[in-house]
């Protein structure tokens, strides 16, 4: 099918403003009388704050207020919940006298200038009586006094299907563990709130993934009515999950209400790394039963997530992992046990893929290790075990769509020249300094929430009198092109230029309730809503165009902002003519209110293939070649799709090779809360990346699209791990695979 905009590379929304440095991010805003907030964080990992002395801080010129647990609400809330009626462990307060990690919030200073706030915050004196602290789940389980009165340890009910014990096959055990990492979105967290005591209206600007989630938490904490709290999403300088939870917004809202003036809180990198959210450290044990024909018959998985100091989303995170073990391979019996354990460490939370990358790592490491042990080709081994198209997983009740696992594996095998590479590497000098290895991994993900609740796209589409279009939809662009994609969809349907479509992002004052842009749902769910609404608007244009042109609607055609009589194209009227006609003839405004409730959730398949070279002298790994094969249904904007995959690769390489938040073993303090000591992958280190999109349209997706943004993050780590292990003929499963770790493993083998 020939499209004008769908499938075409489109520059991202506001590209010119971004290139000119003119786009206003939250931290670039300023309001009259705006004040600045600075937090006072606990230096102690666990303790009770005996005294807070604010006198010296308050005496600094320009200081407007010092917020402490004594003058702020003590209402507990959960930073990760979207609706107040969600079951969520509400363990957190705005400020706390019981500090649970080094970085926990004790107080804050609000001042006329950032410099005054900074100076004063350092002068708030805090006396803390330390309590025994635990920095690992193992230690936390032995604490006499738990970190919270309730829910310090949450053990999920076992999720199971089939009967693992009854399955016949060789027992293969495997372990994978991962480290704590930070997202490194380039924009540090920032929020701005303004409260007008005269009108009792609160307005909050924030680069959030859920304006309604922010509103819900703020209203709970401050006891405000929802219709007087307006949350506006600002341009987001990257999230990767780090801007999903509501962390800064309750704080600035509280301060703004207290002072009756705007208050901004801008985190620096250290604060982002200490007191937002980090990716969970995780330990897993897998038992697999694999029969003589190399069919995986059973999986028993035991996972422990380190939730950090507050449970928040962690139990939910652990729970969603169960189904993800069941939707790549046809495994009759699966048992999944998980627990989420609070420790006196920074809070763990949302990270791109929400358990998907963790599951892919655990499962694919197991698959790769077994294949290696048995001398099986990892692609052949997978081909024996993949779910057939249109299957469903074991823990879900819906169809996963076309699931082109076979196509992805075969296309990748051919394009990467897997077999030829394998043959070439078989004769490499195993005693040489550099060893090369191949790795691959397979996965799938979600395209939305279905069948979980809170998944809909409510869109109001209106045509202005000049024929341009406004879309009102609660979308939160992460910076990766959601708005561009949605505009392309509307433009394609209406045959307008994307320039003639306007779409403002999330705003609780105007948008219908929406869960937020999580789980890669924006294109599949919101895109479909926009497509259907556009089709409805077209019907209206035909209906009134028919009146204007005095021709039956079925004789009409549209293009270039006009409606024509198909057989007689000179009989035409513009969309603008129709809009004025409606206004003049009592039909009112041209506006569609559409609610799309998805009934499908296809799994976008991903297969990644790579070659890595390991330097046995230094332990350094260099990724030399990489192929990502992605079933995207239809790439709406291929340029953005390629960026997503490239971003997943660089983040995955960081996760595998160099990124790690390090805690001091004695104090539990983060030792590397800065980008000098926390290393991400740089431009010079990236391999050539080949990307192949498999485009088999999904029946229900907009133009057949499935999701991509998180799906591409899943196979990276296990593919890289497999390549390193192939190179070294080892089974390293504890991330990161740092040079020191590799050298240690090599020396232990000798």
Task: Give the footprint of other proteins on this chain (CB under 8 A).
Answer: 9-12, 14-25, 27-28, 30, 114, 183-188, 235-238, 240, 268-269, 478-481, 639-640, 642-647, 649-651, 674-676, 680, 682-684, 686, 689
Q: Which is nearer to other proteins, 573 or 713 (CB)?
A: 713
Write down the least CB distance from residue 92 to other proteins, Å: 27
Write down the least CB distance from residue 592 to other proteins, Å: 30
Q: Which is nearer to other proteins, 458 or 642 (CB)?
A: 642
Q: Which is nearer to other proteins, 8 or 406 (CB)?
A: 8
Q: Which two tokens stand for residue 227?
A: 């219709």
Helices (H), 14-84: 15-19, 55-58
Q: Which is nearer to other proteins, 48 or 689 (CB)?
A: 689
Phi first, then psi: give them for residue 323, nearest 5 degrees.
Answer: -65, -25
Write down the least CB distance from residue 254 to other proteins, Å: 25
Q: Which helix (H) or strand (E) holds 630?
A: strand 621-631
> What is d(CA 447, CA 702) in angstroms, rounded to the nearest whole number?
12
631, β-bridge pairs: 694
Q: Which is nearer to other proteins, 308 or 652 (CB)?
A: 652
Q: Coil, helix or strand for 597? A: coil
Q: Which is nearer to other proteins, 288 or 720 (CB)?
A: 720
Rg of the chain taking only CA atoms, in angstroms: 27
Write down the least CB distance from residue 618 to other proteins, Å: 19
Write down the least CB distance from residue 718 to other proteins, Å: 19
Q: Which is nearer to other proteins, 226 or 680 (CB)?
A: 680
Write down the least CB distance from residue 11 to other proteins, Å: 5
Q: Which two tokens stand for residue 661?
A: 């938040």
Q: Coil, helix or strand for 365? A: helix
Taking CB atoms within 8 Å and a gap of at least 24, the contacts of 664-672 are 665/135, 667/44, 667/45, 667/102, 668/45, 668/46, 668/101, 668/102, 668/133, 668/135, 668/344, 668/345, 669/43, 669/45, 669/102, 670/102, 670/103, 670/273, 670/274, 670/346
Cβ-proximal residues to 463 (8 Å cutoff; 6+ apart), any chain: 469, 537, 541, 575, 578, 579, 590, 591
Write down the least CB distance from residue 289 to other proteins, Å: 39
Q: DSSP characters for 674-728?
A: STTTS----GGGPPPEEEEEE----SSSGGG----TTGGGSSHHHHHHHHHHHHH
Q: Which is nearer to other proteins, 86 or 643 (CB)?
A: 643
Q: How many CA atoms lie within 13 A of 373 on its CB side?
A: 14
Write down the least CB distance from residue 119 to other proteins, Å: 13
Phi first, then psi: give them for residue 369, nearest 5 degrees.
Answer: -65, -40
Q: Is 545 left (phi over 0), alpha (psi -120 to 50) or beta?
A: alpha
Q: Which is nearer to other proteins, 362 or 712 (CB)?
A: 712
Write down the least CB distance from residue 727 to other proteins, Å: 23
Write down the least CB distance from residue 19 to other proteins, Å: 4
Would you tell me the crossing angle of helices 356-374 and 716-728 to the nearest 10 degrees?
30
Chain-centroid distance of CA 299 in Å reads 27
Q: Which helix (H) or strand (E) holds 409?
A: helix 405-415
Write down the least CB distance from residue 705 to other proteins, Å: 18
Q: Which is nearer to other proteins, 29 or 460 (CB)?
A: 29
Q: Which is nearer to other proteins, 219 or 272 (CB)?
A: 272
Helices (H), 566-660: 575-584, 638-653
Q: Which is nearer to other proteins, 184 or 286 (CB)?
A: 184
Write down the least CB distance from residue 187 to other proteins, Å: 5
> What is d(CA 443, CA 438) in angstroms, rounded to the nearest whole number?
17
Write down the least CB distance from residue 722 to other proteins, Å: 21
Q: Which is nearer to other proteins, 122 or 646 (CB)?
A: 646
Write down the least CB distance from residue 225 to other proteins, Å: 33
Q: Which is nearer to other proteins, 27 or 736 (CB)?
A: 27
Write down the least CB distance from residue 650 to other proteins, Å: 5
Cβ-proximal residues to 99 (8 Å cutoff; 6+ apart), any chain: 42, 44, 45, 46, 47, 48, 49, 106, 128
* Residue 311 to residues 49, 56, 343, Cα–Cα distance (Å): 21, 35, 9
Q: Which is nearer to other proteins, 321 or 711 (CB)?
A: 711
Would you tell me the crossing angle of helices 739-749 and 716-728 to the nearest 10 degrees?
30
Q: Which is nearer to other proteins, 25 or 581 (CB)?
A: 25
Pairing of strands 201-206, 263-266: unpaired
Write down the least CB distance from residue 110 to other proteins, Å: 17
In the chain, count of helices (H) and strands (E)? 18, 27
Q: Which helix (H) or strand (E) holds 607?
A: strand 606-615
Q: Which is nearer to other proteins, 366 or 651 (CB)?
A: 651
* Closest to 189 (Cα-Cα) out of 349, 355, 21, 16: 349
Phi first, then psi: give them for residue 293, nearest 5 degrees.
Answer: -85, 10
> What is d(CA 67, CA 261) in angstroms, rounded to the nearest whole number?
15
Q: Which is nearer to other proteins, 237 or 281 (CB)?
A: 237
Q: Which helix (H) or strand (E) holds 275?
A: helix 269-275
Write down the least CB distance from residue 652 to other proteins, Å: 11
* Closest to 300 (Cα-Cα) out of 291, 290, 312: 290
Q: DSSP characters for 520-588?
A: T-IIIIIHHHHHHHHHHHHHHHHHHHHHHHTS-GGGEEEETTEEEETTEEEEEEEHHHHHHHHHHTT--
Write down the least CB distance from residue 521 to other proteins, Å: 19
> What is d(CA 354, CA 321) in angstroms, rounded to the nearest whole number?
8
Q: Classify residue 520 as exposed, middle or buried by CB count within 10 Å of its CB (0-12, 13-18, 19+).
A: buried
């Amino acid at each position: 099918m020939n499209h004008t905009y769908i499938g075409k590379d489109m520059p991202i929304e506001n590209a010119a403003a971004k290139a000119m440095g003119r786009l206003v991010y939250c931290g670039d805003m300023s309001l009259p009388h705006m004040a600045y907030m600075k937090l006072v964080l606990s230096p102690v990992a666990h303790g009770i704050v005996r005294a807070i002395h604010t006198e010296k801080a308050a005496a600094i010129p320009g200081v407007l207020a010092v917020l402490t647990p004594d003058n702020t609400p003590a209402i507990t809330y959960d930073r990760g919940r979207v609706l107040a009626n969600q079951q969520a462990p509400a363990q957190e307060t705005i400020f706390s006298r019981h500090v649970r990690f080094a970085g926990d919030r004790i107080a804050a200073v609000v001042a006329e200038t950032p410099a005054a706030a900074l100076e004063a915050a350092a002068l708030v004196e805090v006396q803390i009586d330390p309590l025994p602290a635990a920095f690992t789940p193992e230690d936390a389980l032995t604490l006499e006094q738990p970190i919270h009165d309730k829910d310090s340890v949450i053990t999920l009910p076992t999720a199971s299907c089939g009967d693992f014990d009854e399955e016949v096959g060789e027992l293969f055990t495997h372990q994978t563990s991962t480290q704590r990492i930070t997202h490194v979105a380039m924009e540090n967290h920032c929020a701005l709130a303004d409260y007008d005591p005269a009108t009792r209206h609160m307005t909050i600007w924030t680069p959030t993934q859920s304006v309604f989630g922010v509103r819900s938490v703020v209203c709970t904490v401050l006891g405000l009515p929802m219709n007087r709290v307006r949350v506006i999403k600002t341009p987001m300088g990257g999230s990767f999950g780090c801007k999903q939870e509501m962390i800064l917004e309750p704080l600035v809202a509280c301060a703004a209400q207290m002072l009756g003036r705007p208050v901004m809180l801008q985190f620096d990198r250290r604060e982002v790394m200490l007191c937002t959210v980090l990716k969970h450290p995780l330990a897993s044990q897998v038992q697999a039963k694999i029969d003589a024909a190399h069919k995986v018959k059973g999986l028993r998985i035991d996972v422990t997530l380190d939730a950090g100091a507050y449970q928040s989303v962690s139990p939910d995170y652990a729970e969603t992992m169960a189904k993800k073990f069941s939707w790549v391979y046809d495994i009759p019996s699966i048992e999944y046990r998980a627990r989420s354990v609070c420790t006196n460490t920074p809070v763990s939370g949302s990270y791109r893929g929400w358990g998907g990358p963790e599951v892919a790592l655990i499962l694919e490491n197991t698959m790769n290790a077994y294949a290696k042990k048995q001398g099986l080709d990892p692609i052949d081994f997978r081909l024996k075990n993949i779910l057939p198209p249109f299957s469903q997983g074991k823990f879900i009740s819906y169809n996963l769509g076309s699931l082109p696992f076979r196509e992805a594996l075969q296309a990748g095998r051919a394009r990467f020249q897997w077999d030829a590479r394998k043959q070439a590497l078989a004769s490499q000098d195993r005693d040489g300094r550099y060893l090369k290895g191949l790795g691959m991994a397979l996965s799938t993900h979600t395209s939305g929430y279905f069948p979980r609740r809170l998944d809909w796209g409510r869109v109001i589409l209106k045509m202005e009198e000049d024929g341009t279009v406004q879309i009102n939809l609660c979308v939160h662009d992460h910076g990766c092109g959601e708005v561009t994609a949605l505009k392309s969809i509307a433009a394609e349907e209406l045959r307008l230029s994307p320039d003639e479509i306007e779409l403002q992002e999330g705003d609780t004052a105007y948008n219908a309730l929406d869960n937020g842009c999580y789980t890669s749902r924006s294109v599949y769910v919101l895109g479909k809503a926009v497509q259907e609404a556009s089709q409805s608007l077209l019907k209206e244009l035909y209906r009134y165009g028919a009146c204007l042109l005095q021709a039956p609607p079925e004789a009409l055609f549209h293009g270039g902002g006009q409606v024509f009589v198909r057989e007689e194209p000179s009989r035409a009227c513009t969309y603008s003519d129709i809009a004025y006609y409606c206004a003049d003839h009592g039909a009112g405004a041209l506006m569609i209110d559409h609610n799309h409730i998805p009934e499908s959730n296809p799994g976008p398949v991903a297969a990644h293939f790579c070659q890595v070279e390991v330097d046995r002298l230094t332990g350094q790994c260099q990724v030399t070649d990489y192929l990502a094969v992605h079933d995207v249904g239809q790439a709406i904007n291929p340029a953005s799709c390629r960026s997503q995959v490239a971003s997943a690769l660089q983040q995955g390489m960081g996760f595998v090779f160099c990124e790690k938040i390090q805690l001091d073993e004695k104090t539990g303090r983060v030792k590397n809360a800065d980008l000098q000591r926390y290393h991400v992958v740089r431009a010079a280190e990236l391999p050539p990346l080949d990307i192949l999109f498999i485009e088999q349209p999904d029946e229900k997706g907009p133009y057949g699209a499935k999701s991509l943004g998180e799906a591409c993050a899943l196979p990276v780590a296990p593919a890289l791990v497999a390549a390193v292990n192939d190179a070294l003929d080892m089974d390293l499963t504890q991330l990161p695979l740092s040079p020191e770790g590799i050298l240690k493993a090599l020396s232990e083998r000798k």
